[in-house]
Every structure is written in structure tokens, then in C-alpha cells.
Amino acid sequence: MNSRNHIFKLILCLLLLANGIGFSQNKKQQELEERRQELRQEINKINQLQQENKSKEKSQLSLIVNYNYKISVLNNLISVTNQQANLLTREINSNQKKITKLRDELKALKEDYAAMIVKSYKSKNQQSRIMFLLSSDNFKQAYKRLQYMKQYSDHQKQQGQEIKTKSEELQSINASLLVQKADKQKLINENRVVQKTLEEERKQHQVLMASIKKNINVYAAQIKAKQQEADRIDREIDRIIREAIVKSNKKAGKSETSVGFSLTAEEKVLASNFVSNKGKLPWPVEKGFVTLGYGTQPSPIDKSVSIRSNGVRIATEKGAKVRAVFNGEVSRIVVIKNSNPIVMIRHGNFITAYKNLSKVYVKEGDKVTTKQDIGEVFTNSSNGDTILNFIIYENLNTLNPAEWIYKM
């Protein structure tokens, strides 16, 4: 009995461990599925925006940016789907091993149970049981024999229940196996379709790049000119923020040379709330995708030319409304020569800037709330591009919006 209990405990521990691994795999599968659906939605957004602007003659630079981004998303989708399929393969293999093991266990249990039934049958008559008890040397031994008979009967019932449980478990795993195999085949079929789309996008990208390379100097010059214009606007925003910092410190009676805002108690609370929502802030437009990320990166057409971005560029639909990403106060409406309006919203010592607007719905000093419409994104009439430039500052330092905006 001690040996049997020891084996039972060992099996129980192994089952608990296996269940823990299964839970971990299920969680990973769920995370991958959520990521796959996000990428599919991203591709749908790109396709939708491309369809809306189909009538416009897009610039070569815009087309390359869109191709690069779509190819990147398609690659990510294929990678995530492959991870899901590989995880399902491991789960299928694990379940097949479980089925083999369960069948062996069931066979052993049934053989053990059959032997027990035969033994029980041979000694089941009431007289043999009474004689077994009466042959005891004393009352204590008789009591122990009675307990043994009861335990034997209970164990017999337990063996029967265990057979039933394992049979049901076997049926359940077999059913899961069929579902997993169907899911895996579905993922493989979907990946073939995505792979075909990716190949088509790459071909179009190659054709376009071949055309661009014939006049690479012209396009490189355009990129540099756009970079100079972006730098000019960013320097003006920096100057405005410096002035605001000096003003806040002067008002607080502190040194005007401070590099950070002097905050009131209310502003400190606002800044703290802004920080606590890092990674959860809403997008500044309802629909869109990032065409240029934060930081310095090589140009998509000429790797020798660098593009510096203090924020992100978001492609969106024509007439898209711009939304405040958090509660705050409109600190400035900036209008720079040969540029579209910029709205700057202050959140304590943080500032969000929304560049390239066609309409502005707010004025300086207005209190705004999260997701409140503050303007409309400008649409380039010549190529149909609707691009919002979005920047986050902490005092004078720019921050990566992808770390602050939800799933950017």
C-alpha cells in the first residue's frame, strides 16, 4: 500500500506539472492570436487607406514608404503565424504522447481491476468473510481485518472511478487533438495567402525602386529638403518650449536658467497621471498607421541619407480628426511660415505636439480632455497624403511615442 501511495503521489505531481506547462502554452497561444489579429487589422487599415487614395497620383517617396511599411507588417504576420503553427505542433505532439501513455495506463488499470474483481468474486460469500473475522486471535486483529475489508472495497471502487476518469480524459484529448490539427491547417492555409500577397508587394516595390534609382540624386535632394524643413519647425517648437519653461520658473520665483518647468501642485498631479498612463494613451487619430518611427534612421530609398524624427508620422484618412491624447491645457497654437498649424498641449512638464493640421478647433488656454477633438489633419491635394506628425516632450527632451501610445 505504501508503494502504491508513493506512485500515486508521483503521478499526481507529474500531472500538475503537465497542467502548468499546458496552461503556459495556452497563454502563449492566446497572446500570439491576439498579436496576429492586430497585424491583420493593421493590414486592413493600410488597404483601406490605399483604396481611399487610389484616385490620387501618389509620389514615389510616399509609395515607397507605404510599401516598406506594408511589407514589414506582412513579414511580422507571417512570423507570428509560424510561431502559432509551431506551438500547435508541439501541443499536438504532446497530446499524442499523452494519448499513448493514457492508453497504456488504462490497459494496466483494467487488467488490475479485472484481477481484483476475480479475487473479490472468489471471496465474496458472507461465510468466508465471517470466518476471516472469527479466526482473528483477538478483538484488535478482528477490527484491523474489518478495516482492511472496507479499504479493499473502497480501493476497488476507486479503481473503477479512475478507469472512468482516464477514459473520459482520453476522449477529451482526442477531441482537442482534432481541433488543434484543424487550427494548424487553417493557419498554414492563411499563411500561404499572406505569403503570396507579400511576394506581390515585393515585386511592386522592386519595380518602383528600380525607377527611383534612375534619378536617385533627385529623390535624395527631396529627402534632404524635407528634413531641413522638419528641423526648422522642430527648432521653433524647441524655442517656444524654452520660453514657456523660463516663464514658469520666473513666475515661481526660481532661476530662469532651469531646464525644466516649475510645476504647481495641480500640474504635478497632472504630470504624475500622464506618466502612470504610459503605454495606455490613445492614438491622436482614430484610424492610421505609423509611416516613420521615432529617432534617426536611414532613408528608405538611399541608405546613405539619414532621417531624423523627433516623433512619429501617422498616415490617416482624409478629414481625420485629431484628438488630445490626455487631459491638459492648450499652451500654443503655432503657425510657422510655409507650414501648417501646430497645436501644443501641456500636461504638467510634458507637452504633446500635433503637427500638419488643416483646421484647429481649440485656442490657447483651453482645457482639453482625453480624446477631445482639437483639429483636423491636412490632406495634400496633389497626392492625397494625410499625415499627422506627433511628438511628445518631457521638458525639452523628446520621447518615443511608441512607448506611450497604446499598441503603437
* Helix, coil or strand: residue 314: strand
> How far is 295 from 300, CA to CA, in rounded Å?
14
Q: Quote the pLDDT of residue 16.
A: 47
Residues 38 and 84 in one domain: yes
Residues 77 and 209 in one domain: yes
Residues 245 and 304 in one domain: yes
Q: Quote the pLDDT of residue 48.
A: 78
Residues 155 and 241 in one domain: no
Q: Mark 285-313 as b/e (b = at least 16 C-beta within 10 Å).
A: beebbbbbbbeeeebbbbeebebebbbbb
Q: How many domains does the chain have?
A: 2
Residue 126 lies in a domain: yes
Residues 15 and 117 in one domain: yes
Residue 385 lies in a domain: yes
Q: Quote the pLDDT of residue 127.
A: 47
| Cell 511589407 -> residue | 71
Beta-strand pair 367-368/350-355: unpaired
Cα 163–Cα 164–Cα 166 angle in degrees, nearest 5 = 65
Residues 108 and 172 in one domain: yes
Which residue(s) pair with 314 in the sheet?
Answer: 290, 388
For residue 334, the enclosing domain spans 230-403
Residues in the chain: 408
Roughly what angle, to the nearest 10 degrees, separates helices 2-52 and 60-122?
160
Residue 241 lies in a domain: yes
Residue 408 lies in a domain: no
At which of 186, 213, 240 does a domain end? 213
Residues 162 and 242 in one domain: no
Q: Quote the pLDDT of residue 113.
A: 60
Residue 223 lies in a domain: no
What is the DSSP secondary structure assignment for residue 402, as one 8-state letter? G
At which of 149, 180, 213 does a domain end? 213
Q: Take residue 214 and report the three cell numbers written for it.
A: 534612375
Spatial contact of 389 and 301, defined as CB atoms under 8 Å apart: no
Residues 279 and 243 in one domain: yes
CB-side exposure of 244: number of CA atoms within 13 Å? 25
Spatial contact of 351 and 345, defined as CB atoms under 8 Å apart: yes
Cα 32–Cα 38–Cα 306 angle in degrees, nearest 5 = 105
Q: Take residue 282 and report the three cell numbers written for it.
A: 490613445
At which of 213, 248, 272 does a domain end? 213
Maximum distance among all alpha carbons in the chain? Answer: 113
Q: Quote the pLDDT of residue 90.
A: 84
Residues 236 and 109 in one domain: no
Residues 205 and 126 in one domain: yes
| Cell 484481477 -> residue | 115
Residue 220 lies in a domain: no
Residues 197 and 285 in one domain: no
Residue 222 lies in a domain: no
Quickly list DSSP for 193-231.
HHHHHHHHHHHHHHHHHHHHHTTHHHHHHHHHHHHHHHH
> How far is 117 from 127, CA to CA, in rounded Å?
18
CATH classification of the domain holding 324: 2.70.70.10
Q: Quote the pLDDT of residue 376.
A: 98
Residue 84 lies in a domain: yes
pLDDT in tens, the chain (408 residues): 444 455 444 445 444 444 554 445 678 888 889 888 988 888 888 887 777 656 555 677 778 888 888 898 999 999 999 998 888 888 888 878 877 777 777 777 677 666 656 665 555 544 455 555 556 667 677 667 667 656 666 665 666 677 677 777 777 777 777 888 888 899 899 889 999 999 999 998 888 888 888 888 888 888 888 899 999 999 999 999 999 999 999 988 888 778 899 999 999 999 999 999 999 999 999 989 898 999 998 888 877 788 999 999 999 989 999 999 999 999 999 999 889 999 999 999 999 999 999 999 999 999 999 999 999 999 988 777 899 999 999 999 999 999 999 988
Residues 209 and 280 in one domain: no
